Amino acid sequence: MRKGRARIDAALAARPPLWAEPLERRGVPNLHRVDTNFFRSAQPSRTGFTTLVNELGLRTTVSLRLFHSDEDLVQDLGIAAQRFPIRTWSIREETVIAPLTAIRTAQRLGPVLLHCQHGADRTGLVSALYRVLFQGWSKQDALREMKEGRFGYHAIWGNIPAFLERVDVAALRAAIEAP
């Protein structure tokens, strides 16, 4: 655990203070705190979900994975499992509205974890949109955190930053806030 703590301390020292805070939890790769009740990660294991419940009070998981559900992994843990499959190569406004709405709604009940397989690209985009929509960040600042925040962003997905740069924030916010 000492090595892990040293790595986190070094990562924190090199990051702008508003960027997501790296956390080290067993079974939860690429875990970061984005906001008080909002975390992002790669796919947690059953052990990871148990740890998140016990240590962070996790109440909801929002998965963006295409072919994998968290249902079996969170069974009997008291976690609501929601899944909104996103195809990394085909991102549109309609594909990000549901997970953003789910995160916002679930935060009222307690901590929420957003994840995909690696916690880098799809999770990076939705987290960046969260920053822009709900925390007032500029698209440029959110994009910089997504690409340079050591989450593992893969530059092959050039469509992701392009989407973020062109998305109509006001229209997206209206769609999320619509009853």
The parent domain of residue 74 ranges over 2-177
Q: What is the pLDDT of residue 88?
A: 84
Q: What is the pLDDT of residue 89?
A: 86
Q: Does the predicted model carry a pTM greater than 0.75?
A: yes
Residue 80: CATH number of its domain:
3.90.190.10
- Mean pLDDT of all residues in 127-153: 93
Chain centroid to CA 114: how far?
Answer: 4
H, E, C per residue of 84-100: CCCCCCCCCHHHHHHHH
For residue range 55-100, list pLDDT tens digits in order: 999 999 999 998 888 999 999 999 999 999 999 888 988 999 999 9
- Which has the higher per-residue pLDDT, 176 or 158? 176
- Which has the higher per-residue pLDDT, 137 or 88? 137
pLDDT band at 8, cuts 50/70/90?
low
Single-letter residue type at 126: V
> What is the number of domains present in the chain?
1
